[in-house]
A and B are shown apart, each in its own frame.
Chain A
Amino acid sequence: MTNAAPKPNSYRNQPDAQGHFGPFGGRYVAETLMPLVLDLEKHYRAAQADPAFKAQFDDLLEHYVGRPSPLYYAERLTEELRMGAAPDKGAQIWFKRDELNHTGAHKINNCIGQILLAMRMGKTRIIAETGAGQHGVATATVCARFGLPCVIYMGATDVARQQPNVFRMKLLGAEVIPVTSGAATLKDAMNEGLRDWVANVHDTFYIIGTAAGPHPYPELVRDFQSVIGKEARAQMLSRINRLPDLLVAAIGGGSNALGLFHPFLDDDVKMLGVEAAGYGLDGNEHAASLLGGFPGILHGNKTYLLQDEDGQITEGHSISAGLDYPGIGPEHAWLKDMGRVEYTAITDDEALEGFQLLCRTEGIIPALEPAHAIAAVTKVAPTMDRDRIILANLCGRGDKDIFTVAEKLGVEM
């Protein structure tokens, strides 16, 4: 079924004019929001054509975010994994170090782009949803930087388990509203964000934190995050004059993965997206929408969703709050069905192993989200020849997660 679709000339010219990635994507929003979503697209097209917009975006990424982020050869991790591999096996492992960005994750790339767009549209109030709090912190950061009031919706469960990020957002001047509906996690925060937006369409811009939601969000978030892949591609060519053989990235909504993958989609480079398998894909306690879900409609787009036979959305689970979402950006749904990107899933326990391995071998404490990518790398690297190159996205640092990890490891803090 998945292989029946014709191979396109390019994988990089999605979505179509209506915001569809094949059967996925689209604009499934209430009529109140529809004119706004159309207006956003109009302004985004104008911004894309305006060299001043790009110049301002690039300038902020360089001097405020700290780009370009380094491309790093993880020598000791490579050697460690070779020890368990056949003599000629054990690919080289490289990282794109987006954890070194201001605020500690890739999320800020997108927030810079969207707040510039918001200001172009004359919007004076910013709202966002957050799960782990990384997108909330990044949004609060750019709001402080540009002096716009900021309201962050966060599930009450997440507020409780991500206290440091809640405090960061408040320091940055944001109002954090705990959401108690549903399971009080990311999807409920997104519902509440949409409710706020629908009631405040005249002055409010919704900064969505991943490559999902109604068109044009999946496209513009991908475009803003594509700085990751564009830099990595140029850095690879200038450092070793070749492209990697395999890209690996963790997937929550899919923005860091698309940011890395998209500029390479027409190259002879394999790609692996890593979903959260939680306690395992055989039960219901996971957040792997592509591997364990079915196509459906939620939060403005058609995509793979965790849902029951009646279309009720089921709660995901992952040790990583940033991956704990029952949907996925529509472009990933399309890339999966086209067979262009392969997807796998990593359990909580495997991610914890990957987390500790990177700490020990490279002196880098990763976030639990990229720890899933690292765990996947530990599985595939030993099966690949030594001259092969894996490039994984280190999309966030682990400061926010040390309490979660300590608890899992039985350490009293």
Chain B
Amino acid sequence: MTTRLSSAFPADRAALVCFVTAGDPDAASTPAILDALVEGGADVIELGMPFTDPMADGPAIQAANLRSLAAGTKTADILQIATGFRRRHPDVPLVLMGYANPMTRRGPEWFADACAQAGVDGVICVDIPVEEDASLGPALRAKGIAPIRLATPTTDAARLPAVLEGAGGFLYYVSVAGITGKQQAVQASIEEAVARLKASTDLPIAVGFGVRTPEQAAAIGRVADGVVVGSAIVEIVSEYGADAAGPVRDYVRTLADAIATARQTAAA
């Protein structure tokens, strides 16, 4: 099942990883927004599971979480959205991203099984560090779902091997110590970090947090295997609501185009 993820990172350009919150503005609108991400050129979809207390997120994604919950989005709706996506896009990897409590509420095995049935390829859980892997990781691995780990500027060389232990899919490098949607890290520090991470793992390295312009995406795409964009897309959904699919597609295309040629322009 994780083969979808491993083939999502081409050799000649970075993959574009796009995040939206499931059920924002409501569950009925999400499928069209996900299709727009794919049409715009997203290589990997991160579908955010809304949570009442998204403590690692900045204002944009917090608001998206609350809009989704206010619209009545349930875990069952999210799994249904995933199932529908898998049917429409058999080859595009889909990752669920969210917080521990909604993921483990019915038990880790239940969640892993539901993910497998819905065609989910990987899971990013913000508040389960490797120290607490037993709460979810074994159940995911048993079902062939990749537990995608996060590395941050505070993850030092001594700690990195532990973070990589049992990791799958790709390694998500959070380029700033902070919450989503805020400032972007300086390019030099990203390059240094990606080089350091690449020396320790064969997993693709996707870099995110604070990426919003095609120029930023291209700069990261020159050095990393993947570029993650979240808050900027969520802000478009916030602005256009149920009509967000078109604007989302157009925006994502600008990112995809910039990434597609990034390495050539660098070489030229």
A residues touching B (Cβ–Cβ < 8 Å)?
A: 18, 26-36, 181-182, 187-188, 190-191, 194-195, 198-199, 201-202, 296-300, 302, 305, 307, 309-313
Contact = CB atoms under 8 A, between A and B. Distances in A.
Lowest 4 A-B CB distances belong to which pairs? A311-B105, A199-B178, A311-B102, A297-B100
Nearest to A300: B127
B156 interface: yes
A194 B156 contact: no
B129 A31 contact: yes
Contacts of A29: 127, 129
B193 interface: no
Contacts of B100: 28, 297
26 contacts: A18-B131, A27-B129, A28-B129, A29-B127, A30-B129, A30-B150, A30-B152, A31-B150, A32-B154, A32-B177, A35-B154, A35-B155, A182-B53, A194-B56, A195-B58, A199-B176, A201-B154, A297-B101, A299-B55, A305-B101, A310-B74, A310-B75, A311-B101, A311-B105, A312-B52, A312-B69
B62 interface: yes
B217 interface: no
Nearest to A187: B53
B177 A198 contact: yes
A299 B51 CA distance: 13
A304 to B, nearest CB: 12
B174 interface: yes
Contacts of B4: none
Interface of B: 51-56, 58, 62, 66, 69, 74-75, 99-105, 126-129, 131-132, 135, 149-156, 159, 163, 174, 176-179, 182
A7 B10 CA distance: 56
B101 A296 contact: yes
Contacts of A33: 154
A297 B127 contact: yes
Contacts of B55: 30, 190-191, 194-195, 299
Contacts of A190: 55
A188 B135 CA distance: 25
A307 B105 contact: yes
